Chain A
Amino acid sequence: MNPLTRRLGKMLVLSVLLLLQACASVQHADVRDPWEAMNRSVYGFNDALDKVAIKPAAKAYNAALPSPVRTGIHNFLGNLGDVWTLTNTALQLKGQATAETFMRISVNTFFGLGGVLDVASEMGLEKRKEDFGQTLGYWGVKPGPYVVLPILGPSTLRDALATPLNIQGDATQQFHDKATRQALSVTRVVDVRSTLLESLDVILSAALDPYTFVRDAYLQKRENDVHDGNPPSRFDYSDADAP
């Protein structure tokens, strides 16, 4: 484990403990979110941090680099990310997904200039995203309570505990040079945020309560991803309009 991972791991354990402490004092509004009061304050912190640092950085990044360069960087990081997806599709015993992701990495690395060009997608090799939280979910581990992590954002107890492994398994963290690792981590955060610049504003303008909106969306999305896009429907669609 490298120092960054270890530090993040400690931070996670600490925040989970803090949350557990806080849970005694919160009134239980939503069963999936017993730590709502604490989560809301971390959400507020993240939101403020985004406003003063991450969003401006993403905007500057968009302004400084032309779109093809940003796409190249996005693809390069995506190709490195595919390696962890590969591990997790294998851990979920998904034969075809594993084979195709392996093909994706090979094709993009060798024919896509080290991953800068996403040749594989053009060939119809589907891009998948699987992380260790999804692997745990696949094997039946329930998500547990909703947790908002400092800086990292929405999570669940299950996903939060999987996060140190996700960070360690990320191919950007396999470089020996510490400066390279950190540069890649920062670039990834800015890259992700820059692709969300428009859509996040759109999403938040559609919300009556942004905290609730983001929480419910995150929980649904993770359930969706664990089931590869087709989760069992638990919502009651029976006619609400019957007289």
Chain B
Amino acid sequence: MKTTSLMSLARRRGLIATAFALSAALMPAWAAEEAPDALIKRITNDTLDLIKADKSLRSGDLSKIIQLVDAKLMPHVNFRRMTALATGPAWRKATPEQQKRLQDEFKILLVRTYSGALSQVSDQVVVVKPLRAGQEDKNLVVNTEVRGKGDPIQLDYRLEKTPGEGAGWMIFDLNVLGVWLIENYRTQFTKEINAGGIDALIASLALRNKANAKPA
């Protein structure tokens, strides 16, 4: 765990804030060379600000939240790769149509689940931790912490350098409270696939989505 003494922490926070304010102003000019931690800081803060400003987002309006996710987050997420990794070897044997339906249902499941969390957003701030040294561009983790009321929430992103695509980095896995999403879905997906093939998995995702839609 990264730790710093009190004084230097306070000072560094001030510096970081200034640096980010500057970089936000200059962003369009060198967006392509944006560092991965700066990118995460920018998109999480943009999203948080939008949610804080818009009541209908916080009240759980799903179509608006999906719009927000599509506009702000999806350009930085390789969702096809996420779905493929969660599915495992069976992904390659699936038809393009099955792959598309699987991606769509998986996306609805994740977005709907986390839109519940978005409705809790009030005074949270995201603290991006310093990048750990010695990481590869192909598989790089940015550690962040959401601080607000209650205990801090660990939220990490796994990115890959993608020159010329998106902002130069694409997210392909997400860690909430110490649990990586793809690894956690792989076992459940595999179970469904073993029982009834890729169509059974799509069907059970769709069923889950239907059940989740009811109380909302």
- A residues at B contact (CB < 8 Å): 30, 67, 71, 74, 78, 96-97, 100, 123-128, 195, 198-199, 201-203, 205-209, 212-213, 216-217, 220-221, 224-225, 228-230, 233, 235, 237, 239-243
The distance in angstroms between the C-alpha atoms of A123 and B192, with both chains bound, is: 48
- B residues at A contact (CB < 8 Å): 1, 3-4, 6, 9-10, 80-81, 84-85, 87-89, 91-92, 109-110, 112-114, 116-117, 120, 132, 139, 141, 143, 149-152, 154, 156, 158, 172-173, 175, 177-180, 182-189, 191-192, 204-205, 208, 211-212
For the complex with contacts A124-B6, A126-B1, A202-B117, 11 further pairs of A-B residues with Cβ separation under 8 Å are A67-B149, A127-B152, A202-B116, A209-B188, A220-B184, A221-B178, A229-B156, A230-B143, A237-B158, A239-B81, A241-B81
User: Assuming the A-B contacts A228-B1, A241-B91, are A206 and B179 also in contact, with contact meaning beta carbons closer than 8 angstroms in the complex?
Assistant: no
* Contact (Cβ within 8 A) A71 B149: yes
* Contact (Cβ within 8 A) A240 B184: no
Partner of A221, one of B10, B151, B179: B179
* Contact (Cβ within 8 A) A235 B180: yes
- Chain B positions within 8 Å of A127 at CB level: 151-152
The distance in angstroms between the C-alpha atoms of A176 and B185, with both chains bound, is: 46
- Chain B positions within 8 Å of A208 at CB level: 185, 188-189, 191-192, 204-205, 208
* Contact (Cβ within 8 A) A230 B10: no
* Contact (Cβ within 8 A) B183 A224: no
- Chain A positions within 8 Å of B132 at CB level: 230
* Contact (Cβ within 8 A) A229 B89: no
Q: Which 10 A-B pairs have the closest CB atoms?
A: A224-B178, A206-B113, A221-B178, A240-B84, A241-B84, A228-B1, A208-B188, A202-B116, A217-B179, A235-B183
User: Assuming the A-B contacts A30-B187, A195-B150, A206-B109, are A220 and B180 also in contact, with contact meaning beta carbons closer than 8 angstroms in the complex?
Assistant: yes
* Contact (Cβ within 8 A) A217 B184: yes
The distance in angstroms between the C-alpha atoms of A207 and B185, with both chains bound, is: 8
